[in-house]
Amino acid sequence: MDNVKLVKNGVLRLPPGFRFHPTDEELVVQYLKRKVCSSPLPASIIPEFDVCRADPWDLPGNLEKERYFFSTREAKYPNGNRSNRATGSGYWKATGIDKRVVTSRGNQIVGLKKTLVFYKGKPPHGSRTDWIMHEYRLSSSPPSSMGPTQNWVLCRIFLKKRAGNKNDDDDGDSRNLRHNNNNNSSDQIEIITTDQTDDKTKPIFFDFMRKERTTDLNLLPSSPSSDHASSGVTTEIFSSSDEETSSCNSFR
Amino acid sequence: MESLAHIPPGYRFHPTDEELVDYYLKNKVAFPGMQVDVIKDVDLYKIEPWDIQELCGRGTGEEREWYFFSHKDKKYPTGTRTNRATGSGFWKATGRDKAIYSKQELVGMRKTLVFYKGRAPNGQKSDWIMHEYRLETDENGPPHEEGWVVCRAFKKKLTTMNYNNPRTMMGSSSGQESNWFTQQMDVGNGNYYHLPDLESPRMFQGSSSSSLSSLHQNDQDPYGVVLSTINATPTTIMQRDDGHVITNDDDHMIMMNTSTGDHHQSGLLVNDDHNDQVMDWQTLDKFVASQLIMSQEEEEVNKDPSDNSSNETFHHLSEEQAATMVSMNASSSSSPCSFYSWAQNTHT
């Protein structure tokens, strides 16, 4: 009775702070099962929309939050189980193994959950994006006595945000590391400059000292020569005097 | 009035800070007696954090946050302590209070507390976190120590990633310190490179020692030169026959001797100065200049012999030596008389 009222009103009257954050069990048992059986839904929060008719970012609703849609599963071929679903700019590709949706009490399997990732481009050369879709379907088909039934599936589409945050952090760290490397390089350059300066200073000083030594060597041979000359002059003077005396005597 | 029975499946109570303060807390303060099924009243400081789960839960096992109202009472008339003790621990405030806005207007403040097991100030930190919201319209107003507050309690599990970030920052800080230390080492190396300046005097002294050694070696050479000079003298005198020619040569020799003597004296003076003031650079400059002058004179002397024949060269060298003797005679008082007498004899 209450459920009917909520549906009829079309607008949920809930206290502030309540938001639609269902569990897998609630999605399958409370919403998908009733949808397949054409029973009234607890809340008209999930619209009907073919998720392959538009790209993830063009689906109705708030991009920042998880969005839920009832969609039909159309088989391309009578006997095929292909999971590729093409859209305008890309395709949904299944990843991993289908998980079982189990009730929290009796450990009873009530449905299956398939995880898909959206790729841009055309298969199999598409580029992976962060758009994720969880596709829920019932584990058993309803009795045929219920009449013609469609293959309803419940889809939850959202943007993978945690991984994005991690990437941002990693990029930041990489930048920091690069910054440190640059600092180290600068320090190394400074070291090299210092070495060059020292190398230039030493040779100049050393060469100057060598020049001094050369000059000293030039001086040393000259002094002995002077002394030698003085000695020679003294000796020769005496010889000359003797000869002159001899000449005078011979003349007379 | 508000009953949780009407909440459809899949909906959960995940209010924002604004909703908690501007709707629930404001109504609680305005209508204290009104009971809200979604948030109950709890005496926070008489129960433990793990008891909140039973008191405030809705019965489903998917809840990770619990909300409750609490009334704060002032413990001491003049106290402003933020520590709140329970049976097995205490709640300790951490971080800075955050302002809560609703449509650009301040409506409340949020205080973050952590639960510690044990007694203050020592205690073991736990994973229980609590956000305490209070009404506030003036961010810089005096703190309210009593009144209703709404609280959200949860366990710190989803914030594990945030805890890793500070470690990364620590790593970066360590890196910077390493760079600073490396720079200090560079400065130290720079000081090391200045040491060669201190060694300059030693190198200069080494040069002096080398000079002394060279001087010692050269002292032996003069003896050989003297002997050769003595042997050559008689031959030179016997070859002189023409008196006129001898006279002209004597004049030339005298001039050469005079200039040579002056330079020798200059050399000696410079040498003495060099020995007395080894560190004086000006003396070294003078010494270098004198060396340059002597080098030029040697070149002039060498040019003349090349123009004469081999015999004339021999005579030239001998005449130089004879001229030296004449110069020494001139310096004494008896020299002029001897020279004059010899000249007269030649004319006669």
Q: What percentage of chain B reaches a pLDDT higher than 70? A: 38
Query: What's the farthest any 2 CA atoms get from each other in chain A?
Result: 182
Question: Residue B291 and residue A215: Cβ atoms within 8 Å?
Answer: yes
| Tens of pLDDT, residues B263-315 | 444 444 444 444 444 556 777 777 788 877 777 665 555 554 544 444 444 44
Q: What percentage of chain B reaches a pLDDT higher than 90? A: 2
Question: Residue A220 and residue B210: Cβ atoms within 8 Å?
Answer: no
The secondary structure element, H or E, covering residue A26 is helix A24-26
Residue A53 falls within a domain, yes or no? yes
| Tens of pLDDT, residues B200-233 | 444 444 444 444 444 444 444 444 444 444 444 4
Selected for mutation to probe chain B from A2, A9, A18, A162 (highest B CB count within 10 Å) is: A18
Contacts of B254 in chain A (CB under 8 A): none
Residue B71 falls within a domain, yes or no? yes
Selected for mutation to probe chain B from A68, A220, A227, A235 (highest B CB count within 10 Å) is: A220
DSSP B150-218: EEEEEES-TTHHHHHHHHHHHHHHHHHHHHHHHHHHHHHHHHHHTHHHHHHHHHHHHHHHHHHHHHHHH
Question: Residue A17 and residue B7: Cβ atoms within 8 Å?
Answer: no
Question: Residue B207 and residue A212: Cβ atoms within 8 Å?
Answer: yes
| Tens of pLDDT, residues B158-193 | 444 333 333 333 333 333 333 333 334 434 444 433
Q: Which domain holds residue A81?
A: 17-157
For residues A155-170, average pLDDT: 58
Task: Check residue A68 and give its pLDDT.
Answer: 92
Domain count, chain A: 1
Q: Which domain holds residue B138?
A: 15-153
Residue B148 falls within a domain, yes or no? yes
Regarding beta strands B65-72 and B84-85, do their DSSP bridges make them parallel or antiparallel, or are they unpaired?
Answer: unpaired
Choose among A222, A229, A235: nearest Cβ to B294: A222
Residue A129 falls within a domain, yes or no? yes
pLDDT at B68 over 70: yes
CATH label of the domain that carries residue B64:
2.170.150.80
Region label for A104, one of left (φ > 0), alpha (ψ between -120 and 50) or beta (otherwise): alpha
Residue A128 falls within a domain, yes or no? yes
pLDDT at B157 over 50: yes
Residue B55 falls within a domain, yes or no? yes
Residue B283 falls within a domain, yes or no? no
Residue B141 falls within a domain, yes or no? yes
Domain count, chain B: 1
For residues B25-30, average pLDDT: 86
CATH label of the domain that carries residue A36:
2.170.150.80
Task: Check residue A144 and give its pLDDT.
Answer: 54
Q: How far is the C-alpha of B274 from the C-alpha of B295, rounded, in Å?
A: 19
Residue B310 falls within a domain, yes or no? no
Residue B224 falls within a domain, yes or no? no
Choose among B172, B215, B226: nearest Cβ to A228: B226
Interior angle at CA A65, CA A64 and CA A70, nearest 5: 130
Return the amino acid letter for A91.
Y
Which are the contacts of B171, defined by CB distance < 8 A and separation ≥ 6? none
Omega prior to B234 cis, within 30 of 0: no
Question: Residue B222 and residue A45: Cβ atoms within 8 Å?
Answer: no
Chains A, B: CB contacts within 8 A come to 182
Choose among A16, A22, A226: nearest Cβ to B19: A16
Backbone angles phi, psi at B11, to 5 degrees: -90, 140
The Cα of A125 is separated from the nearest Cα of chain B by a number of Å equal to 34
Contacts of A216 in chain B (CB under 8 A): 207, 210-211, 214
Task: Check residue B203 and give its pLDDT.
Answer: 43
> What residue of A is the nearest CA neighbor of B161?
A166
| Tens of pLDDT, residues A68-109 | 999 876 554 454 555 556 888 898 988 888 888 888 767 778
